Structure 1
């Protein structure tokens, strides 16, 4: 799997307000030139979680174009202009269990679930820690992914690696 044009990646979560938004921003920064990322949800919240925006802004990510959107935007059945997807990753357990639309192309998919930082109750500091933890896990997984030798992996090997990445919690391991 090698391409002169960036490979298209979609991150899915039910509400598309926190984890998938973080993943979209991270991928578009670390995968620039190699990957183009979007995020969507099965039942979008309609707005990006303010804690996710605050964290991304603190880390100097552009946030003006981030928005909570339905996954129908990426289905050719409802949007003939939808980009052809190369990869689809679910980042929440609910979205992983839902019946997804038919995606354009034949994207490889994997479940990269992690705890929902938006569900954390407590002080502002505790919420900030939850978002920082989600960011760290996604950043680690995405860095491992963008450094995979895609051109030298067959589809079965790549699928195995994608599934393994979804179990990564700590620091990135070499590809």
Structure 2
């Protein structure tokens, strides 16, 4: 399966989701492919995101803020592989996925943005909370016995409540 995490600026939450998912995939030896992107990318990953991931022992190589337009060929050429797009910020929840997204499955897992906090202790606590939430959701998604698209859609919706 192909998984795309979307957040408007692709600089914090979607980057966290991509990195954490790759970390979990490595442990599970899963065949999932994961990326992150934004409709209006910031062009730079928030430094606090990279610092947090590195402190957790999660690899940060290759993480970058990029436009979802860069993935048109990658995701539109997936007749055999289901494509899932998960928005992780409130402003991206209402965005229309691009035409090339085709028959992909879209879900929303709204998460608070640690990069918006000025206080470093509060920011660190929120990074930890968001990371734990993403880890639970991703582990549940990757280990689920999914039989069809309807079941997958329901699971994605159910996971949006896991915290």
Q: Same fold (TM over 0.5)?
A: yes
For residue 104 of structure 1, report the CA deviation from its aligned partner: 4.4
Aligned equivalent of 2:132: 136
* Contact 2:14-2:37 within 8 A present in 1 as well: yes
Aligned equivalent of 1:18: 12
Calculate the TM-score normalised by the size of structure 2: 0.88
Aligned length, in residue pairs: 155
Distance 1:97 1:109 in 2: 11
Aligned equivalent of 2:158: 164
Distance 1:29 1:149 in 2: 20
Aligned equivalent of 2:57: 60
Residue by residue, what CA displacement relative to the aligned partner does 1:31-71 show, whole Å, maximum 9, x if unpaired?
24321110001111111111110111111222120000011
* Contact 1:14-1:42 within 8 A present in 2 as well: yes
Distance 2:96 2:69 in 1: 12
Distance 1:158 1:17 in 2: 27
Superposition RMSD in Å: 1.5
* Contact 1:74-1:103 within 8 A present in 2 as well: no
Aligned equivalent of 1:108: 105
* Contact 2:23-2:59 within 8 A present in 1 as well: no
Q: Which runs of 5 or more residues in structure 2 are unaligned?
A: none
Distance 1:138 1:103 in 2: 26
* Contact 1:46-1:69 within 8 A present in 2 as well: yes
Calculate the TM-score normalised by the size of structure 1: 0.82
* Contact 1:15-1:45 within 8 A present in 2 as well: yes
For residue 141 of structure 1, report the CA deviation from its aligned partner: 0.8
Residue by residue, what CA displacement relative to the aligned partner does 1:83-107 show, whole Å, maximum 9, x if unpaired?
4362110001111111221244522
* Contact 1:17-1:45 within 8 A present in 2 as well: yes
Q: Which runs of 5 or more residues in structure 1 are unaligned?
A: 1-6, 76-80, 170-175
SS in 2 for 1:17: coil
SS in 2 for 1:10: strand
